[in-house]
A and B are shown apart, each in its own frame.
Chain A
Amino acid sequence: MIEQDLKNFQKITQKSLPTFEGLAQGHRACQGCGEVLALRQVMKALGPDTIAVSATGCMEIITSSFPQSAWNIPWLHVAFENVAAVASGVEAGLKAQMRKGSLPEKKIFIVATAGDGGTADIGLQALSGALERGHNFVYVCLDNEAYMNTGIQRSSATPYGASTTTSPSGKHSIGQNTWKKDMPAIAVAHRIPYVATANPAYHVDLMNKVQKAKLINGPAYLHIYSSCPTGWRHEIDKAVEISRMAVESRVFPLYEVIDGRYVLNRNVKKPISVADYFKPQRRFRHLRPDDIAHIQARVDADWEALQQKVALTNPASPEPEAVSNKKEE
């Protein structure tokens, strides 16, 4: 089934980057925004025959301030918590009209994008409903690990130890005192055909995952790491570097779950430390060595658990599929 869906899959390489841009210049994202970079790469891979719906959030605000739009493709925003439901309606509307002959039969991809708050918190119910019903669409969570649009408030995707405006570090507080919600696992629990994590520092891998997600029939969930210089308090030229460190520290592993089968896309054999990953981000500056050790232990355990999922779902244990990384080239 998935093999059939992917028969026209043409791998994007660094030499064959798509020239199409779903987003236009002139958007109002902050300097060095990692989220809009991820969004741009997603839209490049989706191509022009796409309808995009966005949840309320940074990406919505920075692309659609009337009377200018940064969208080169048809785009709809309705509210914060419902983007998956809106996408469900777009899919059903096109399907019914094409079947009844009021619209010409044509493959149109539907993408829903939301931040981590719009996905893991307020939008979780609508997302779960849309995944469970099996709509043919791509859901993209652009995870910058807090409510950045409203001023850096914590979400359930904020990592343990990060200081935000509603989980501030202080004499009696480590900052965020809960562990990051595992959204990809929640998506996997819906038994949808395709779930993947991606990261703009690994843009070829990201765009190929978007391609697979759009070609595979049924819902696809992409969880994309999106650094935020403003909210994470890192230098504006570091978005890609920090994104890469998130993978190299095993904090944000790159993997796919294809019909329940886990595939590790980057087997980080010699990880950098969590402390090194935290260093350029002032949201973690208050952490003491024993706090960091505590987090390191959790990252190690999560990595081990991921390895086990790979082993469990791949009886033959194939070699991890490598992804290109320009630092290796």
Chain B
Amino acid sequence: MAKRVGMEVSLGVSEAVKVADVDVIAAYPITPQTHIVEHLAELVANGELDAEFIPVESEHSAMSSCVGSSATGARTYTASSSQGLALMHEILYIVPALRLPVVMTVANRALSGPINIWNDHSDIMSERDIGWVQTFAENGQEAFDLSIHAFRVAEDHSVLLPVIVNLDGFTLTHVVEPFEILDRAEVAKYLPPYKPVQRLDPEHPMTMGAVGIPEVYTEAKKQMEDALVRSKSVVIQAWKEFGDLFGRYYHPVETYKTEGAETLLLTMGSVSETAMTAIDKMREAGKKVGLVRFRLWRPFRFEQFVEAVKGIKNPAVMDRAMSPGGPCGPVAAEVRAALYDQPNRPKVFSFVAGLGGRDVQVSDFEEIVSRAEIYAEKGAPATYDLIGVREI
């Protein structure tokens, strides 16, 4: 039976991994991911979860072990963050290329330097093109639900790709929230045991990870990308079934008070809750503002987004990562590309805020909205605005 608990979000994620009955966890500790893997180690140690916990000597080995484990057909999980994710980088591309449904939680954190353990999205924005399905959680309940959903999507035979669930380091991982925990029997109705299509098996020897000569490399990449693009419908269908079973429905894009909005904030992750408070405040003051939150970040090619921003004059994207030397924040660049071919396309304004744990407050969103309104009228700067930077 589902039960309502007050729990640190990290522990909630571990509980989700437990009820998903994973076979192998390979993980290396990094702040702010540690509570997730500590709790999993504890669950394995006290017999609540029957799994192999590999306490690897680096994140590079964590992901490498995950590849080996998943290639035997085991349900496989890891979690990481920031420098650890960057250390995995090389292997991250190989997991979807081998079509292995590894699931990973990323506790989003700034990348060095300077070294900084606090929240932003620079770690995951560096991993945009790895070929994984990527979702973003806004709160504890969502972190739990998306973790279950991740296994369901990854292991679907028309997908067979790894999935990352992003959640903001500290601002989400380390807060205690009330949420509903599903038990194993309930989850079993939603998440059947993983049935690998291919695995390392002496009874049926196969070669995995062969050299992709020029004659086949393009086709190999195309096959993987096609699966990623098509995963969108599985992601959406799996969310629908999740809602039908457990009463909580999720969508690739969520809108908040977008009716009649002229200026639209676009956000991702836990900051969206602050953004909603800001929207409420500005709406009360008579401003025509709304909010769009991205839950699905990869694949990012969806009509749901275009539909959500239809008729909006001033989309203002708040990125939590820089793209140094580039024209705008990384999410803003994608939004611009997504809207470029639309009739009467709006200008897309790019703002970067909340870097390295800098608090993002209601006033910051008010600032973004007012600047977007001014830029809409008088023209925008050629690049992006770094909100809250001290200009002295």
In-complex Cβ contact of B57 among A65, A79, A99, A126 (8 A): A126
Q: For residues 68 through 87 of chain A, which have their beta carbon under 8 Å from a beta carbon of chain B? A: 69, 71-79, 81-82, 84-87
Contacts known (A88-B26, A92-B69, A93-B76); A51 close to B202, Cβ less than 8 A:
yes
Of B205-213, B322-330, B347-355, which stretch is located at the interface?
A: B205-213
B24 beta carbon closer than 8 Å to chain A: yes
Asked if residues A77 and B208 are in contact (CB atoms below 8 Å), the reply is: yes
CA distance A103 to B51 in the complex (A): 14
| Docked CA distance A69–B207 (Å) | 7
Q: A78-B68, A81-B60, A102-B193 are in contact. Are A96 and B211 (CB under 8 A)?
A: no
A60 on interface, CB distance cutoff 8 Å: yes
User: A133 interface residue, CB < 8 Å from B?
Assistant: yes
Any chain B CB within 8 A of the CB of A271?
no
B226 at interface, CB cutoff 8 A: no
Q: Shortest CB–CB separation between residue B335 and chain A, in angstroms?
A: 34
Question: Are A90 and B91 touching (Cβ within 8 A)?
Answer: no
On chain B, the residues within 8 Å of A76 by CB distance are 67-68, 71, 200, 208-209
Question: A128 within 8 Å of B by Cβ?
Answer: yes
Q: CB within 8 A of B68: which of A60, A69, A89?
A: A89
Q: Contact: A74 with B202, CB < 8 Å?
A: yes
**Contact at B58–A129, with CB atoms within 8 Å?**
yes
B76: chain A residues within 8 A (beta carbon): 89, 93
Look across to chain B and name the residue whose beta carbon is closest to the beta carbon of A75.
Answer: B207
Residues of A within 8 A of B (CB-CB), count: 49
From B68, B90, B208, B212, name the one whose CB has the most chain A CB atoms within 10 angstroms. Answer: B68
A93, B208: Cβ atoms closer than 8 Å: no
Q: Is B73 an interface residue (CB 8 A)?
A: yes
> Do A51 and B67 form a contact, CB below 8 Å, given A77-B209, A88-B61, A125-B58?
no
Given A48-B202, A77-B208, A88-B65, A82:B72 Cβ within 8 A: no
- Report whether A78 and B65 are in contact in the complex, using a CB–CB cutoff of 8 Å: no
For B201, the chain A residues whose CB sits under 8 A away are 74
Cβ-Cβ contact count across A and B, 8 Å cutoff? 167
A264 to B254, CA, bound (A): 70
Could you tell me if B51 and A65 are in contact, using CB atoms closer than 8 angstroms? no
Determine if B52 and A95 form an interchain contact, defined as CB atoms under 8 angstroms apart. yes
B64 at interface by CB-CB < 8 Å: yes
A97 at the interface (CB under 8 A from B): yes
**Nearest opposing residue in chain A for B71, CB measure:** A76
Of the listed residues B50, B67, B98, the one surrounded by the most CB atoms of chain A closer than 10 A to its CB is B67
Choice from B52, B91, B211 contacting A78 with Cβ under 8 Å: B91
B-contact 0/1 string along A174-207, CB 8 Å cutoff: 0000000000000000000000000000000000
Question: Chain B residues with Cβ under 8 A from A61's Cβ?
Answer: 211
Indicate whether A66 sits within 8 Å of B211 (C-beta atoms), given known contacts A88-B56, A103-B73: yes
Query: Is the C-beta of B130 less than 8 angstroms from some C-beta in chain A?
Result: no
- Given contacts A64-B211, A86-B68, are A74 and B206 in contact (CB under 8 A)? yes
Measured CB to CB, the nearest residue on chain A to B217 is A66
Chain B residues, Cβ within 8 Å of A103: 72-73
Closest to A87 in B: B68
Whether the pair B202, A82 counts as a contact (CB closer than 8 A) is no
Contacts of A321 in B (CB 8 A): none
Q: List residues of B (42-89) whose CB comes within 8 Å of A's CBs.
A: 50-52, 54-58, 60-62, 64-74, 76
Is the CB of B366 closer than 8 A to any CB of chain A? no
A96 cross-chain contacts in B, Cβ below 8 A: 23-24, 50-52, 69, 74
A108 within 8 A of B: yes
Complex: chain A residue closest to B57, CB-CB: A129
- B residues within 8 A CB of A29? none
Task: Determine the chain B residues whose CB is within 8 A of the CB of A84 once the complex forms.
Answer: 61
A78–B209 contact, CB under 8 A? yes
A292 within 8 Å of B by Cβ? no
Interface hub of B54, B72, B213 (most chain A Cβ within 10 A): B72
Q: A93-B70, A93-B73, A99-B50 are in contact. Are A126 and B202 (CB under 8 A)?
A: no
User: Mask for B172-215, Cβ within 8 A of A = 1, else 0?
Assistant: 00000000000000000000010000001110111111111100
CB distance from B340 to the nearest CB of A (A): 37
The minimal Cβ–Cβ distance linking A217 to chain B, given in whole angstroms, is 16
Q: Which chain B residues lie closer than 8 Å to A72 at the CB level? A: 205
Min CB–CB distance B7 → chain A (angstroms): 26
Whether A94 sits at the interface, judged by CB under 8 Å, is yes
The answer to the question of B94 belonging to the interface, with a C-beta cut-off of 8 Å to chain A, is: yes
Residue on B nearest A86 in the bound complex, by CB: B68
Are B67 and A50 in contact, CB atoms less than 8 angstroms apart? no
* A28, chain B: closest CB distance, angstroms: 10
Write out the residue numbers on chain A whose beta carbons fall within 8 Å of the beta carbon of B69.
89-90, 92-93, 96
B211 and A60: CB pair below 8 A? yes
Q: Which of A60, A74, A129, A133 contacts B200 (CB 8 A)?
A: A74
CB-based contact B200/A89 at 8 Å: no
Among A48, A74, A90, A130, max chain B CB count under 10 A is at A74
Contact present for A86 and B23 (CB under 8 Å): no
The interface residues of chain A lying within 8 Å CB-to-CB of B382 are none
Q: Write out the residue numbers on chain A whose beta carbons fall within 8 Å of the beta carbon of B202.
A: 48-51, 73-74, 108
**Which chain B residue has the least Cβ–Cβ distance from A77?**
B209
Contacts A66-B216, A78-B91 given; indicate if A89 touches B55 (C-beta within 8 A): no
Instruction: List chain A residues, Cβ under 8 A from B73.
Output: 93, 97, 102-103
A90-B72, A90-B200, A92-B24 known; A71 vs B205 contact (CB < 8 Å): yes
Which residues, 207 to 254 on B, are CB-close (under 8 Å) to A?
207-213, 216
Which A residues lie within 8 Å of B70 (CB)?
A: 89, 93
A78–B50 Cα distance when bound, in Å, is: 27
Interface on A for B, CB 8 Å cutoff?
48-51, 53, 60-61, 64-67, 69, 71-79, 81-82, 84-97, 99-100, 102-103, 108, 125-126, 128-130, 132-133
**28 pairs, A vs B, C-beta closer than 8 Å:** A51-B72, A60-B211, A65-B210, A71-B205, A72-B205, A74-B201, A75-B200, A78-B64, A81-B60, A82-B91, A85-B60, A85-B61, A86-B64, A89-B64, A91-B68, A93-B23, A93-B68, A93-B70, A93-B72, A96-B24, A96-B52, A100-B23, A126-B57, A126-B61, A129-B56, A133-B54, A133-B55, A133-B56
Taking Cβ atoms with an 8 Å cutoff, the residues of B that contact A are 23-24, 26, 50-52, 54-58, 60-62, 64-74, 76, 90-91, 94, 98, 193, 200-202, 204-213, 216
With A66-B216, A93-B70, A94-B74 given, can you name 6 additional A-B contacts, CB distance below 8 Å? Answer: A71-B205, A76-B200, A86-B67, A89-B64, A89-B72, A92-B69
Nearest 3 interchain pairs by C-beta = A89-B68, A129-B57, A93-B72
